[in-house]
Structure 1
């Protein structure tokens, strides 16, 4: 444990660069690891049913195991060739960014880890969202988890940003901010840290970079440490489309 603490000091550069790469990918994009999700606090939000595979949905992967790294990245593939190509390229860039960061540093006395899994949501026949759980470990007391979402309009294979989801994205941010703060205030319990929650739910686009479309609304993902301590785990809030009505959601994406 002491050595790992030293590793963070000596080898923190690669992790910092990789986290920056992840942030850039998340902003550009707008696994399930049970050991990470297990400590999430209970929520009174209605549970979503497991996502069903889309017609033609299969799985691709990048698996690299060498003397320095353990990499297992899974991603979905679909009949839509353009969407599949974009997802595959995204996953490839993620692996390249991780390996580049590791190669620039001195060898560690353990393997650096990148594990990526995903869930798929289908709000309608013309849209889908993928939520990637990106787990990395390059030393320290625990690994790091980032949740990154990619959403697509299947009619033209376009990757969707906040501006594509709402005619008035500024109003959408304001409504999401108020809704998320209220919901998390009610569910975090002993993990409620007011400064973290206020900062992590302000109507800043960076705070809402990981949004997935779900039937009837959106799922807002918050990273570990964004709105609560690490021990609280990653958080999410499901928000009905009706509560975003004055932001003018692009209703066709939800089959409306």
Structure 2
């Protein structure tokens, strides 16, 4: 067990009353309360605490500042209820499961199977949001699914289709960074059409909250800016120090060239803009996808809208 693990209370970002929990997380070697000892000594409770910490962090990132205080207050109340369990494992476990269920965002699932293939997609549902927002998310997912189904129909129509193991498509979306006007949903997954291996999928959804529509990556930038050239330069500089398993300069330069098709996978986040280069874009499949984080300070002058959370 990692004795420097920070428990859920650390995510509150404030010093809570001693009767609730330590404010900055605790070193399990220095655990002093029955609750702390119980969590540190139990593998399942430790895992539940880590899962709750992840969900709490994600929930905060989905909210604008005005909504975060309400979340923090509900977390304070939960911590008080959890600590009233004392060292009783069943009580602690029940409290964690209840809070995890409360913080886990609702999701929708889409499944389908056909001749020699199966697919599954899941995506977040935004409770309380206008229906136009959820409709836009569903439409985006359906677009990805329809593309897979069209490919399978084309392959199956071939007199000698590339069969072998069943083909598959899996896509999962997670709500991430949010500003007053933008909700980022990171869709990732895997598609297999036969052969030695499938391909990882990356499909960021940049959802304009005011118009309930998916943004083209170019819409993040001013129309009169040379944003492609800037991203190309910064991406090449970031990739220069990496082990790309033998990829030569021509490969990297082609994959990072300042053309729109190389910069379709953009993920705004709290610390900057992540550019995703899928396998084969700048290196061999074995090197995996390459992600480059570009701090906003490097591109603020190019942006058409603020991407930092307010």
TM-score normalised by the chain length of structure 1: 0.72
Contact 1:162/1:169 (8 A) holds in 2: no
* Cα drift, residue 189 of structure 1: 5.1
Which residue of the partner structure matches residue 92 of structure 1? Answer: 142
Which residue of the partner structure matches residue 179 of structure 1? Answer: 234
Match of 2:206 among 144, 151, 156: 151
Structure 1 residues 165 and 97: CA distance shift in structure 2, 3 A: closer
Deviations 1:91-150 (A, max 9, x none): 223223322332341563431111112333214243221222241111111111231111
Q: Which has the larger radius of gyration?
A: 2
For structure 1, which runs of at least 5 residues remain unmatched after alignment? 1-48
> Which secondary structure does the structure 2 equivalent of 1:118 belong to?
strand
Structure 1 residues 241 and 194: CA distance shift in structure 2, 3 A: same
**What is the CA–CA distance in structure 1 between the aligned matches of 2:113 and 2:277, rounded to whole Å?**
30
* Cα drift, residue 234 of structure 1: 0.6
Deviations 1:43-79 (A, max 9, x none): xxxxxx8861436942111112455212111122212
**What is the CA–CA distance in structure 1 between the aligned matches of 2:132 and 2:244, rounded to whole Å?**
44
Query: Structure 1 residue 135 and structure 2 residue 135: aligned?
Result: no
* Cα drift, residue 155 of structure 1: 2.7
TM-score normalised by the chain length of structure 2: 0.60
Structure 1 residues 94 and 183: CA distance shift in structure 2, 3 A: same
Structure 1 residues 116 and 227: CA distance shift in structure 2, 3 A: same
Contact 2:244/2:284 (8 A) holds in 1: no
Size of the alignment, in residue pairs?
Answer: 207
**What is the CA–CA distance in structure 1 between the aligned matches of 2:187 and 2:224, rounded to whole Å?**
23
> Which secondary structure does the structure 1 equivalent of 2:240 belong to?
helix
Contact 1:168/1:248 (8 A) holds in 2: no
Higher relative contact order (CA 8 A, sep 6+): 1
1:22-37 aligned within 5 A? none
Match of 1:64 among 94, 97, 112: 112
Query: Structure 1 residue 52 and structure 2 residue 107: aligned?
Result: no
Deviations 1:134-171 (A, max 9, x none): 41111111111231111022233232223431214642
Which residue of the partner structure matches residue 87 of structure 2? Answer: none
* Cα drift, residue 191 of structure 1: 4.4
Which residue of the partner structure matches residue 220 of structure 1? Answer: 275
Match of 2:151 among 93, 101, 108: 101
Q: Which has the higher strand share?
A: 1
Which residue of the partner structure matches residue 235 of structure 1? Answer: 290
Contact 2:171/2:201 (8 A) holds in 1: no
